Amino acid sequence: MGRVQDKVALVTGGAMGIGKACAMTLAREGARVLVTDVQDADGKAVVEEINASGGEARYSHHDVTQEQQWQSVIAEVLAAYDRLDLLVNNAGIAIAAASITEMSLEDFQRQNAVNLDGVFLGMKYCIPVMVENGGGSIINMSSVAGLKGSANLAAYSMTKGGVRLLSKSVAIECAQAGNGIRVNSVHPGIIDTAIWDKMMLNPDSGANTVDRDGIAMAMVPGAKLGSPQDIANGVLHLASDDSSYMTGMEFVIDHGLTA
């Protein structure tokens, strides 16, 4: 208990899945958490759960693709807590396509907007605030798909590879500036969340032909699916001062998938 005691955290896409587990875990370990998402009912339910169990959390509607909403969220966190120590840039979507030639430009740009613009804007607006309190930890959610190519998820894979090198580059900038901010990327393997149910290879027919369990069986040694908590445990380590010498690192949590 108390591994991030009294730190202030912002978790994007915190209404469900990995983001929810991160928000609950950071709150359990003493952080005050601003949970943000576009799914307001689920996001508010997460906050109620945290507050009912003795933690401290708030919810804010926040589309990570919208620059102005980042400015509002930063204003809210400063008004409520007067500081920011931790940013978990978790919000993400995965748009599948049978092949790159069958992907629309609109889908390609939407994929990029959520997964990369969102991470860029998060760092752009949170770093100056973290500098004010002498440092912080930024955790950007990438994927094993950011380490290797993924058929049917080419654009998703591109964004996650982008998150990986954006994180490393900003980590170097922060280290060279001596501003006390660490930046790392997290690379989950096959995790049991709703993101898989939303991947439609053939959306016109409503058919979801991405077989998560089949992929896990084929690719993960031991055929083991991960849980959101498995990822939140890694995020907690990067958020806590236990990882104070870790920056610019890719934290792979995949049960050997990429091994």
Active-site residues: which are they?
Answer: 156
Q: Which is nearer to ligand NAD, 63 or 173 (CB)?
A: 63
| Minimum distance, C-beta of residue 104 to ligand NAD, in the bound complex (Å) | 18
| Minimum distance, C-beta of residue 9 to ligand NAD, in the bound complex (Å) | 16
Distance from chain centroid for Cα 169: 18
Residues that bind ligand NAD (CB under 6 A): 12-13, 15-19, 37-39, 62-65, 90-94, 114, 141, 143, 188, 190-191, 193-195
Element (H, E) at 156: helix 154-177
For the chain, the distance separating the N- and C-terminal CA atoms, rounded to the nearest angstrom, is 32
| Minimum distance, C-beta of residue 93 to ligand NAD, in the bound complex (Å) | 5
| Minimum distance, C-beta of residue 106 to ligand NAD, in the bound complex (Å) | 15
Q: Which is nearer to ligand NAD, 66 or 179 (CB)?
A: 66
CA pair distance 86, 138, nearest whole angstrom: 6
**Strand, coil or helix: what is 246?**
coil
| Minimum distance, C-beta of residue 192 to ligand NAD, in the bound complex (Å) | 7
Q: Which is nearer to ligand NAD, 87 or 190 (CB)?
A: 190
Query: Burial level of 225, CB count in 10 A (0-12/13-18/19+)?
Result: middle
Q: Which is nearer to ligand NAD, 136 or 146 (CB)?
A: 146
Distance from chain centroid for Cα 222: 26
Q: Which is nearer to ligand NAD, 145 or 174 (CB)?
A: 145
Query: Burial level of 244, CB count in 10 A (0-12/13-18/19+)?
Result: exposed
Please answer whether residues 120 and 132 qualify as being in contact, where contact means their C-beta atoms are separated by less than 8 angstroms: no
Q: What is the number of alpha carbons within 13 Å of residue 227 lying toward its C-beta?
A: 4
